[in-house]
């Protein structure tokens, strides 16, 4: 039985999936499954609601009495929506979400009742033994705690009609150490916001609150479920470990922003409906560059909620795809030869007075508050580029970032022509007051004038300023946004504190406030100049130029992760209160182990596919050719016929032998690596196992067009990318 042809046959005869349509507008059902402020008001008496709202907005802990009121209201709301269970929903260091479900039902004196008190809301105790911990817990300390995060609203998850109240929580060890992504994010957010308030009050004393905002862009591939199931590599690793490029890929750019295929459009419509019910403000959808690649993006939100929404979205995407007989590929590089997928993180800050701190205004050269935050961010990235690079590294993102594809592994900052002129003038001591005026592009009398933005969008830059925010383009599509956001918050918070101190020192020496601010800005402009780059980040010339500037090029995960092991990094985490020294080392070990395990799984999968599918097909076809050669010789026909086939037999034989010998060698190297400690193990997988995988793939991909198509078991790129 050929799984590939069975899958293709099923695809051709699949039934159309009908999507529920909503007669009402999105605004009428948006967040209907979220315990919003409006929902709270509907299930709480006004006095209690006002107390709860004030405490949550102030970032303070609720008293047990108030928590009881919240729990009671939350239970009544959830049960009114049909929920029968509740779950603490958390984000362990696996990179995805986890949940432990409990029923509202219990027995009291033998009588069945529904119960959900403050103790169930505020804290639960899931088994923490099987989650990555990097040594934070010992074998006999299996217990872990989840604790309610009141700053992110609870929601109802509807899975095939079964509804569960989900409560966003942090996850810690029995001793209270971080085992998740949320707690460090919340701590970094608090650290940055405190530092930003101090800086903002240099310009506006009315600022007493700053929030970090995030707008993510989720790229992904869709593939038919039957074809997916016929590829063991896609099922187990999320990427094709072998597969020859299709004759047509993305070279015509005809997929980018093209008409969305009907099947994918139906999937997107259902996904958007479910997102809107859960308060995820997705707004944009379109075809991406590669065939079968797509993107969706939401409206900006407060960073903690945005991260939760992205994690929830990824779960929704996979659930809904299965209903449409599709599978979602989040892997940064599921197919060789076409673009991979990222998750661009658009980061900014806003004040309680309604000001975006990264908005240049009409005249950025005279906007000292903007220049302060803008240059402090660039200075922070310059000082901590290696740590920011480490925050987005992984085995899967190496295929996209490792100096191979957009954006490169070298961290640089793009700010655009206009702002470059502004900074150059400040550095020289002049003023470029007209630099911020937007240019108008008058294209045609019938076409409205286009207002040219102050910044371009350099697609080769890993860290680009795009008008009123910084776009971190190096984040991988599989990643939890909390990882890079935690680092961004922490390093910018640290830099803003230094800015305040630098300004105060100058003012203590009788320098005017504005002059002191401009003096510090000028110093940052000069010191961070090496990391600013406006050109082609893909070019070999940039690699050489970056090296001359002293910028790092950490092209693989083991190299990039070394940033977590430095004293400066540990000191920064400890000083900011984001992680303790023990937690930093533990998180570092978790990342190293994840890298090694991912390559271990990939190498095992590749070996199995070669031995069970690739080589049997190649040997079967080789034997057929040998029979033909023997028959032709015995008939005494044209010698050129059997000579040509004999050459093909030898070529196939060479690839078979190379694959077989490298599969055996890979097993030996894998066994050696698994005997080593964390960093050495990761390094061994990177340096010794990964190159053998690439050699095996090269030979397998050369065999694919040589072997009779009817014998090839694995769906080919032309089918995976173009049959939907």
Instruction: Look at residue 444 and tell me whether its pLDDT is greater than 60.
Output: no
Q: What is the mean pLDDT of the segment spanning 221-246?
A: 96
**Would you say domain 219-341 falls under CATH 3.30.590.10?**
yes
Assign 510 a pLDDT band (cuts: 50, 70, 90): very high
Instruction: Look at residue 90 and tell me whether its pLDDT is greater than 50.
Output: yes
Assign 434 a pLDDT band (cuts: 50, 70, 90): very low
Assign 256 a pLDDT band (cuts: 50, 70, 90): confident
Q: Which CATH number fits domain 594-722: 3.40.50.300, 1.20.120.1560, 3.30.70.2740, 3.40.50.720?
A: 1.20.120.1560
Q: 213: which 2 tokens?
A: 């905002």
Domain assignments of the chain as residue spans, ordered by start = 3-12+26-188, 219-341, 342-565, 594-722
Q: Which of 421-425, 498-502, 690-694 has the lowest mean pLDDT?
A: 421-425
Q: Which of 496-500, 632-636, 692-696 has the lowest mean pLDDT?
A: 632-636
The pLDDT assigned to 57 comes to 80
Bridge partners, 451 (sequence order): 440
Identify the three-state secondary structure at position 130. coil
The pLDDT assigned to 184 comes to 97
Global confidence as pTM: 0.94
The pLDDT assigned to 58 comes to 76
The residue with greater pLDDT, 135 or 514, is 514
Burial class (CB in 10 A: 0-12, 13-18, 19+), 68: middle
What pLDDT digit, counting tens, does each position of 600-619 carry?
A: 999 999 999 999 999 999 99
What pLDDT digit, counting tens, does each position of 458-482 carry?
A: 678 899 999 899 999 999 999 999 9
The pLDDT assigned to 430 comes to 64
520 Cβ contact list (under 8 Å, min separation 6): 499, 502, 503, 506
The pLDDT assigned to 631 comes to 80
Average pLDDT along the chain: 91
Assign 129 a pLDDT band (cuts: 50, 70, 90): low
Q: Which fold has domain 3-12+26-188?
A: Ubiquitin-like (UB roll) (3.10.20)
Q: 93: which 2 tokens?
A: 């260091």
Radius of gyration of the chain (CA): 28
Going 77 to 82 to 86 to 89, the CA torsion angle's sign is: negative
Distances (CA, A) of 361 to 208, 369, 435, 468: 22, 11, 11, 9
3-12+26-188 against 219-341: fold identical: no
113 Cβ contact list (under 8 Å, min separation 6): 105, 106, 107
Element (H, E) at 529: none
Q: Which of 46-60, 289-303, 309-323 has the lowest mean pLDDT?
A: 46-60
Q: Which of 12-21, 193-202, 479-488, 565-574 has the lowest mean pLDDT?
A: 12-21
b/e map of 104-138 (b: 16 or more CB within 10 Å)? beeeeeeeeeeebebebbbebebebeebbbbebbe
Q: What is the mean pLDDT of the segment spanning 631-635?
A: 75
Instruction: Look at residue 22 and tell me whether its pLDDT is greater than 80.
Output: no
What pLDDT digit, counting tens, does each position of 552-586 carry?
A: 999 999 999 999 999 999 999 999 999 999 999 99
The pLDDT assigned to 365 comes to 81
What pLDDT digit, counting tens, does each position of 380-412 carry?
A: 999 999 999 999 999 999 998 864 566 788 999
What span, in angstroms and rounded, lies between the C-alpha atoms of 430 and 494? 29
Backbone torsions φ then ψ of 510, nearest 5 degrees: 70, 25
Instruction: Look at residue 453 and tell me whether its pLDDT is greater than 80.
Output: no
């Amino acid at each position: 039985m050929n799984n590939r042809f069975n899958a293709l046959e099923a695809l051709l005869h699949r039934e159309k999936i009908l999507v529920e349509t909503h007669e009402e507008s999105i605004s009428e059902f948006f967040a209907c499954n979220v315990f919003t402020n409006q929902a709270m008001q509907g299930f709480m008496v006004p006095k209690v609601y006002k107390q709860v709202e004030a405490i949550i907005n102030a970032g303070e802990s609720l008293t047990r009495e108030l928590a009881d009121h919240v729990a009671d209201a939350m239970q009544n709301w959830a049960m009114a929506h049909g929920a029968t269970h509740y779950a603490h929903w958390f984000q362990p260091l696996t990179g995805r979400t986890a949940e432990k479900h409990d029923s509202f039902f219990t027995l009291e004196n033998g009588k069945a009742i529904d119960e959900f008190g403050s103790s169930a809301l505020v804290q639960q105790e899931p088994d923490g033994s099987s989650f990555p911990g990097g040594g934070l817990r010992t074998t006999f300390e299996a217990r872990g705690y989840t604790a309610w995060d009141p700053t992110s609203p609870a929601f109802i998850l509807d899975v095939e009609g079964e509804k569960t109240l989900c409560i966003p929580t942090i996850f810690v060890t029995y001793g209270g150490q971080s085992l998740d992504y949320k707690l460090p994010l919340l701590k970094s957010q608090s650290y940055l916001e405190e530092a930003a308030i101090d800086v903002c009050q240099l310009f506006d004393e009315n600022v007493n609150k700053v929030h970090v905002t995030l707008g993510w862009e989720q790229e992904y591939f869709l593939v038919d479920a039957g074809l997916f199931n016929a590829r063991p590599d896609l099922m187990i690793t999320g990427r094709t470990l072998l597969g020859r490029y299709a004759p047509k890929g993305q070279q015509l750019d005809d997929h980018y922003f093209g008409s969305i295929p009907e099947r994918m459009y139906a999937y997107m419509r259902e996904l958007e409906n479910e997102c809107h019910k859960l308060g995820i403000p997705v707004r944009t959808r379109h075809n991406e560059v590669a065939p079968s690649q797509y993107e969706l993006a939401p409206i900006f939100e407060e960073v903690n909620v945005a991260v939760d929404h992205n994690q929830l979205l990824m779960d929704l995407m996979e659930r809904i795809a299965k209903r449409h007989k599709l599978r979602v590929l989040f892997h940064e590089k599921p197919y060789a030869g076409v673009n991979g997928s990222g998750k661009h993180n658009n980061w900014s800050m806003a004040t309680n007075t309604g000001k975006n701190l990264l908005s240049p205004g009409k005249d950025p050269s005279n906007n000292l508050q903007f220049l302060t935050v803008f240059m402090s961010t660039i200075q922070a990235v310059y000082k901590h580029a290696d740590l920011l690079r480490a925050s987005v590294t992984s085995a899967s993102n190496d295929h996209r970032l490792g100096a191979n594809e957009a954006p490169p592994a070298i961290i640089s900052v793009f700010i655009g022509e206009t702002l470059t002129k502004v900074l150059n003038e400040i550095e020289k001591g002049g003023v470029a007051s007209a630099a911020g005026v937007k240019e108008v592009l008058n294209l045609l009398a019938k076409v409205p004038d286009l207002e040219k933005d102050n910044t371009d969008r350099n697609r080769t830059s890993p860290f680009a300023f795009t008008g009123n925010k910084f776009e971190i383009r190096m984040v991988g599509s599989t990643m939890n946004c909390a990882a890079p956001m935690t680092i961004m918050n922490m390093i910018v918070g640290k830099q803003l504190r230094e800015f305040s101190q630098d300004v105060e020192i100058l003012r203590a020496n009788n320098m005017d406030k504005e002059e002191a601010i401009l003096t510090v800005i000028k110093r940052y402009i000069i010191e961070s100049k090496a990391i600013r780059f406006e050109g082609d980040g893909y070019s070999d010339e940039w690699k050489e130029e970056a090296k001359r500037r002293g910028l790092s090029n950490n092209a693989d995960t083991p190299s990039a992760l070394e940033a977590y092991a430095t004293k400066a990094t540990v000191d920064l985490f400890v000083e900011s209160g984001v992680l303790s020294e023990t937690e930093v080392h533990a998180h570092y070990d978790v990342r190293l182990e994840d890298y090694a395990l991912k390559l271990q799984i990939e190498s095992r999968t590749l070996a199995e596919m070669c031995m069970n599918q690739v080589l049997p097909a190649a040997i079967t076809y080789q034997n057929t050719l040998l029979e033909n050669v023997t028959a032709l010789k015995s008939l005494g026909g044209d010698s050129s016929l059997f000579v040509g086939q004999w050459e093909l037999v030898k070529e196939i034989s060479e690839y078979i032998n190379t694959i077989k010998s490298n599969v055996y060698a890979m097993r030996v190297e894998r066994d050696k690596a698994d005997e080593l400690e964390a960093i050495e193990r990761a390094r061994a997988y990177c340096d010794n196992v990964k190159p053998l995988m690439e050699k095996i793939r090269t030979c397998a991909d050369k065999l694919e067009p040589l072997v009779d198509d009817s014998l090839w078991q694995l769906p080919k790129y032309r089918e995976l990318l173009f049959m939907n």
